Structure 1
Amino acid sequence: MAETHHVAPLPITTLTINPALDVSTSTKRVMAEHKMRCGPSRLDPGGGGVNVSRVIARLGGQSTAIYAVGGPTGQAYRQLLEAEGIVGRAVPITGSTRENITVDELSTGKQFRFVLQGPELSEAEWQAALDATVSAARHGGYVVPSGSLPPGVPDDYYARVTHAAHASGARVVVDASGEALAAALDEGVFLIKPSGRELGELVGANLSTIDEKIAAAEELVARGRVEVVALTLGGDGAVLASAEGTMVVTPPPIEVRSTVGAGDSFLAGMVLRLAEGRPLRDAFRAGVACGAATAMTVATELCHASDVARLEAELAA
């Protein structure tokens, strides 16, 4: 019998400079100036990079999560992450980790999301997070800085992370928006995952049609600012633009219960499959499957591996 050789996945490091303790609950109706009695609540350790690491773990992969935390909420955050078995390094900060609040209105099916501002970080604190990320980065691996920047952190922070990671021989995957994303692209990154709105802001144009969005993504690749653009369009699917060409994938029909964390899940599935050596197009389909699987779950819950496997098989058929 032929001997089977398994190649170890490439290392993945995620960075979350502005994590949030996600609080989710439900109430019959959201009304001003009323005391609204809520149903059961749940707590999750949220934030872009951490969510990527959490989904990678759910899919059986491994990553190193770098995240800045402080205060009582930061302590609760760390305990929740440790309970999930997430490997990483908590960078201590003076301020208290923020909270985000998600409320489902049962009478209408609407979801209200309150995203709080993060604590202000000192230069020493954000530099420590950058140094920890670069220390964890490995040649040929992936570094994933993801999420918003809190007060005190410069707009070009992800550009600095990208520059330093490149010196380590790592490929950088940035999930951000606005000035943070634009500055990172000036360094040239491997992959970005903008929404249609974020892509329009990036290129300074009102992209109203799918063709305009595809053209904008292809232009970014052609200009050498990024190797791969994975454009997410919600229920309309996703677009992959790279030197290999362009493809559009429509997600399988699902019942959408909450889109919180769907974008992070998409990125996790795609990066994990790439790290496992899968072709770019297969990795892209895996990302779509993970995003859809998370949209099937309630509130701030993330995808389940069984749902991802089923949807990934459907998209590959």
Structure 2
Amino acid sequence: MTPILTITLNPAVDLDTATPQVAPGPKLRCRAPRMDPGGGGINVSRALAELGGDSVALVAAGGGMGALLVQLLERAGLRTRIIEAPGETRQSVSVIEEGSGKQFRFIFPGPDWPQDQVARARAEIAEIVPRGGLAVLSGSHPPGFPDDFAASLGQVCNDRGAGLMLDTSGAALRALKAGRITGLAVLRLDREEAEDLAGHDLPDAAASADLAAGLVDRGVARIVVLARGAEGSVLVGETGRWQAGAANVPVVSRTGAGDSFVAGFTLGLSRGDAPELCLRRGMAAASAAVMTDGTALCRRDDAERLIADCTLSRL
């Protein structure tokens, strides 16, 4: 396998619980919460481990909640590199309303980063990017980090002969719109993010493929993957335009599906698979993830079994 580094700048301690009904006013009695280490890159590393892969998870953590996060990472058996974050690591809360099955997700902001600590973190990250490997920057940027951080990280990766996969949201989308992020190995966006970037709806797979092709042509990334929810995902790259459908499975929770996709896709890349086969593997992992509760991710047996159900077709 090509070595993989995941990067989580804005991690969280994820709390997952359930209550009979969500309503304003009375105290809502919840079941005992499940706690997991969360954040895009961490989830990718967790899913990679479940799928039989390996990675190093670089995580910014601070304060008492950061210490708890480190304990949860150790309990999960992940190889980690911790860099110091200012303030307290954030929490996120997911609540299932048992009566309706609806999921309510509450996401808190991360700590503010002063510029001297941003510079220090940038230097520490540059030291650990694996030569000839893959780096995955996933999840939101905390306040204080530049919205085009992926551009400077991409340059570090290029200097080390590594590829950068970007799966992020929020501020980084503004930098993408402005053309300030280029040279990525892979860019992945969910449907809402892709439509935000396009400035209009993407009614079908062909429209998503056209947007992805434009991003490839402009040098944003060599491979662009745009998710389309239950329809699957579209990929455009040097091997052409492809779509892989989602498997028809019972949906328990959509939390973690995107991160599981990135894990499956990255695992395929690390093994030298063609991009379209990585797309199919990613969709199988995402389909497996929606079958699990709360903040749980994909299961390996499910992901391997579902590959055959994720139909691959040219666009």
TM over 0.5, yes or no? yes
* 2:206 corresponds to: 211
Matched, 1:280 2:259: no
So what's the TM-score if we normalise by structure 1? 0.93
Q: 2:101 aligns with which of 96, 104, 109?
A: 109
% of aligned pairs identical?
39
- In structure 2, C-alpha distance between the alignment counterparts of 1:209 and 1:316, rounded to whole Å: 17
Q: 2:27 aligns with which of 13, 35, 56?
A: 35
Does the CA contact (< 8 Å) of 1:159 and 1:183 recur in 2? Answer: no
Q: How far off its partner does 1:193 sit?
A: 1.1
Q: How far off its partner does 1:183 sit?
A: 3.1
* 2:60 corresponds to: 68
Does the CA contact (< 8 Å) of 1:163 and 1:187 recur in 2? Answer: no
Q: 1:225 aligns with which of 215, 220, 223?
A: 220
* 1:4 corresponds to: none
4+ runs deviating over 4 angstroms: none
- In structure 2, C-alpha distance between the alignment counterparts of 1:217 and 1:106, rounded to whole Å: 39
* 1:20 corresponds to: 12
Q: 2:44 aligns with which of 32, 35, 52?
A: 52
Task: Give the direction of change, closer, same or farther, for the CA distance of 1:211–1:278 in structure 2 (3 Å limit).
Answer: closer
* 2:143 corresponds to: 151
Q: 2:110 aligns with which of 113, 118, 129?
A: 118
* 1:6 corresponds to: none
Provide the alpha-carbon RMSD of the alignment. Answer: 1.7
- Residues 9-36 of structure 1: CA distance to partner in whole angstroms, max 9, x if unpaired? 1111111000011001001111112100
Task: Give the direction of change, closer, same or farther, for the CA distance of 1:179–1:98 in structure 2 (3 Å limit).
Answer: closer
Q: Give unpaired runs (5+ residues) of structure 2.
A: none
Q: How many residues align?
A: 309
* 1:298 corresponds to: 293
Amino acid at match of 1:192: L
- Residues 254-293 of structure 1: CA distance to partner in whole angstroms, max 9, x if unpaired? 0111111110110011011110112211111110011111
Amino acid at match of 2:297: L
Q: 1:81 aligns with which of 50, 73, 80?
A: 73
Q: How far off its partner does 1:241 sit?
A: 1.2
Farther-moved stretch of structure 1 (244-253 vs 292-301): 244-253
* 2:125 corresponds to: 133
* 1:242 corresponds to: 237
- In structure 2, C-alpha distance between the alignment counterparts of 1:17 and 1:131, rounded to whole Å: 14
So what's the TM-score if we normalise by structure 2? 0.93
Amino acid at match of 2:132: G
Q: How far off its partner does 1:72 sit?
A: 1.3
Farther-moved stretch of structure 1 (20-29 vs 181-190): 181-190
Matched, 1:194 2:186: no
Matched, 1:259 2:273: no
